[in-house]
Amino acid sequence: MSALFEPLRLRSLTVPNRLWMAPMCQYSAAPEGPTEGTPGDWHFQHLAARAAGGTGLILTEATAVAPEGRITPYDLGLWNDTQTAAFRRITDAIKAQNSVPGIQIAHAGRKASSERTWVDRGRALRPEEPFGWRPVGPSPLPFDDASTTPEELSTARIAELVGQFAETARRALDAGFQVAEIHGAHGYLINQFLSPYSNRRTDAYGGSYENRTRLPLEIVDAVRAVWPEDLPVFFRISATDWLSEDDGDDREGWTADDTVRFARDLAEHGVDLLDTSTGGNAPNARIAVGPGYQVPFAERVKKEAGLAVGAVGLITEARQAEKIVADGQADAVLLGRELLRSPSFAQHAARELGAAVHVPQQYHRAV
Q: Is 267 left (phi over 0), alpha (psi -120 to 50) or beta?
A: alpha
Among 188, 209, 293, 363, the active-site one is: 188
Cα–Cα distance between 94 and 311 in angstroms, integer?
A: 22
Exposed (0-12), middle (13-18) or buried (19+): which is 145, by Cβ within 10 Å?
Answer: exposed
Cα–Cα distance between 193 and 184 in angstroms, integer?
A: 9
Cα–Cα distance between 79 and 86 in angstroms, integer?
A: 12
Burial 209-238 (b: 16+ CB within 10 A, else e): eebbbbbbbbbbebbbebbeeebbbbbbbb
Concerning whether 205 is annotated as a catalytic residue, the answer is: no
DSSP letter string, 217-254:
HHHHHHHHHHS-TTS-EEEEEES-----GGGS------
Closest CA to 240 of 209, 194, 199, 271: 194
Active site amino acids: 188
